[in-house]
């Protein structure tokens, strides 16, 4: 599967502009982490792009319905397993760097978007590592975000929380126009 095919699949199942932007944010962060860890950038970005492709159509069955769809389309097992691993309840172990990265990036991208939306100009350029850390400490802010997953994700990547936030923020800032932030 290449990026074009992954993008077509994403658009086939996802109509929400915000979910598509989330997929793009996770995609770029995954691609950049692949570069940092000297891994396959194409593979990692496809996992990022597709990790939630089934969520809008099958919210109660996500990501298991996505697994079924991907298997029927002959998608490589390592892509499917990595996507499954981003949801702890699937029981798929995060036993590869790819699986750890998708878990680590998913919640954090959403949180960074939330932080950007409370900035004066609602812009990623105004977001800093410190502003993200400050909002993480505010339990009432973006309370649906699993803060423990963000912290656990950084640890699984052997990154400090500051490094992890900085890496993901920098990635997202490179596509701020696509994210409309």
pTM of the predicted model, to two decimals?
0.96
Query: CB–CB of 98/47 below 8 Å?
Result: yes
Candidates 69, 56, 70, 46; CA nearest to 20 is 56
Q: What is the pLDDT of residue 121?
A: 95
C-alpha span between 50 and 11 (Å, rounded): 10
Helix, strand, or coil (residue 164): helix
Q: What is the pLDDT of residues 13-66, one digit of tens each?
A: 999 999 999 999 999 999 999 999 999 999 999 999 999 999 999 999 999 999
Q: Which domains does the chain have, with CATH numbers?
A: 3-179 (1.10.3210)
pLDDT of 88 > 90? The answer is no
Mean pLDDT to the nearest integer, 142-163: 96
What value does the mean pLDDT take over residues 128-143? Answer: 96
- The kind and range of the H/E element at 8 are helix 3-13
């Amino acid at each position: 599967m290449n990026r074009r095919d992954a993008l077509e699949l994403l658009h086939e199942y996802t109509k929400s502009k915000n979910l598509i932007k989330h997929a793009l944010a996770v995609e770029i962060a995954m691609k950049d982490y692949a570069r940092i860890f000297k891994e396959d950038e194409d593979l990692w970005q496809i996992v990022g792009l597709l990790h939630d492709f089934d969520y809008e159509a099958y919210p109660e069955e996500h990501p298991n319905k996505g697994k079924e769809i991907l298997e029927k389309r002959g998608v490589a097992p390592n892509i499917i397993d990595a996507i499954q691993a981003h949801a702890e309840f699937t029981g798929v172990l995060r036993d590869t760097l790819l699986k750890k990265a998708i878990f680590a990036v998913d919640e954090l991208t959403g949180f960074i978007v939330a932080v950007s939306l409370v900035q004066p100009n609602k812009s990623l350029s105004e977001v800093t590592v410190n502003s993200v850390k400050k909002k993480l400490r505010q339990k009432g802010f973006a309370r649906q975000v699993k803060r423990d997953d963000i912290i656990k994700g950084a640890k699984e990547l052997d990154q400090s929380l500051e490094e992890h936030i900085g890496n993901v923020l920098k990635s997202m800032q490179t596509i701020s126009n696509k994210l409309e932030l």
